[in-house]
Structure 1
Amino acid sequence: MGFLSVLSMAQRFVTERAVAGDTLVDATAGNGVDTLFLARLAGERGRVFAFDVQEAALANTRDRLDREPSPCRLAEVTLCQAGHETMAERVPRSLHGGVRAVMFNLGYLPGADPAVITRTETTLAALEAAVGLLAVGGALTAVLYPGHEGGGDEAKAVEEWFGRIPGERAQTVVYRFPQKPAAPYLVALEKR
Structure 2
Amino acid sequence: MKNLQITAYTQHFIRQQVMPGDLCIDATMGNGNDTALLSRLAGEKGKVLAFDIQEFALVHTEERLKREKCPENYRLILDSHENMASYAEPETVSCITFNLGYLPGGDHHIATKAESSRRAVESGLTLLKKGGLMTLCIYSGGDTGFQERDEMLEFIRELDPHQYLVIQSEYINRPNNPPIPVLIIKL
Which amino acid in 2 is paired with 1:7? T
Which amino acid in 1 is paired with 2:83? T
Q: Of the candidates 159, 163, 170, which is equivalent to residue 157 of structure 2?
A: 163
With 107-116 and 178-187 compared, the bigger mean Cα shift is at 178-187
Q: Distance in 1 between matches of 2:153 and 2:147?
A: 10
- Which 4+ runs in 1 deviate beyond 3 A? 1-4
Give the Å deviation of 1:149: 2.6
SS in structure 2 at match of 1:128: helix
SS in structure 1 at match of 2:50: strand
Identity, % of aligned pairs? 35
Other-structure match for 1:42: 42
SS in structure 2 at match of 1:111: coil
Give the Å deviation of 1:176: 1.2
Name the CA shift for 1:186/1:76 in 2 (closer, same or farther; >3 Å): same
Other-structure match for 1:141: 135
Q: Distance in 1 between matches of 2:34 and 2:2?
A: 22
**2:18–2:38 Cα contact (<8 Å) kept:** no
Which amino acid in 1 is paired with 2:20? A
SS in structure 1 at match of 2:61: helix
Q: Deviations over 1:76-113 (max 9, x none)?
A: 1011100000000122x3xx202000000111111221
1:86 paired with 2:83, answer yes
Which amino acid in 2 is paired with 1:26? D
Q: CA RMSD of the aligned region, Å?
A: 1.5
Name the CA shift for 1:115/1:164 in 2 (closer, same or farther; >3 Å): same
**2:26–2:49 Cα contact (<8 Å) kept:** yes
Other-structure match for 2:185: 190
Structure 1 unaligned residues grouped into runs of 5+: none
Structure 2 unaligned residues grouped into runs of 5+: none
TM-score by length of 1: 0.92
Which amino acid in 2 is paired with 1:191? K
Which amino acid in 2 is paired with 1:110? P
TM-score by length of 2: 0.94
SS in structure 2 at match of 1:16: helix
Which amino acid in 1 is paired with 2:84? M
